[in-house]
């Protein structure tokens, strides 16, 4: 009986730790209850914390009209019989 109580208390501690790292506390509670609190804490420590700040996508600069890639693209469009908008 005392072992089950200790098991549940450890599961709550792991759920709190997971929640503070940006992960689902309820999910980690059940993972630790089903597997083992020791295995769950090892898994949780191995995973990086989830950050709340979104990552900004890299901005791509448009090609210059005199750029060699732009000229190659224009030549390809002419070969395909298309204009610069991709329409025939």
- pTM above 0.85? no
Token pair 């993972």 in the structure block, residue: 31
- Within its chain, how far is the Cα of 79 from the centroid? 41
Domain boundaries, the chain: 2-46
User: Would you give per-residue pLDDT tens digits along the chain (88 residues)?
Assistant: 899 999 999 999 999 988 888 888 999 999 999 999 999 988 888 888 877 656 666 666 665 666 777 778 788 888 878 766 655 5
At a CB cut-off of 8 Å and minimum separation 6, what does 32 contact? Answer: 10, 11, 14, 15, 39, 40, 41
Q: Are 32 and 43 a contacting pair, CB within 8 Å?
A: no
């Amino acid at each position: 009986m005392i072992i089950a109580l200790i098991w549940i208390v450890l599961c709550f501690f792991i759920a709190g730790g997971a929640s503070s790292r940006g992960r689902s506390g309820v999910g980690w509670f059940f993972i630790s209850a089903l597997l083992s609190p020791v295995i769950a804490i090892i898994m949780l420590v191995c995973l990086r914390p989830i950050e709340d700040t979104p990552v900004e996508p890299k901005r791509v600069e448009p090609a210059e009209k005199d750029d060699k890639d732009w000229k190659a693209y224009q030549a390809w469009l002419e070969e395909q019989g298309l204009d610069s908008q991709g329409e025939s």
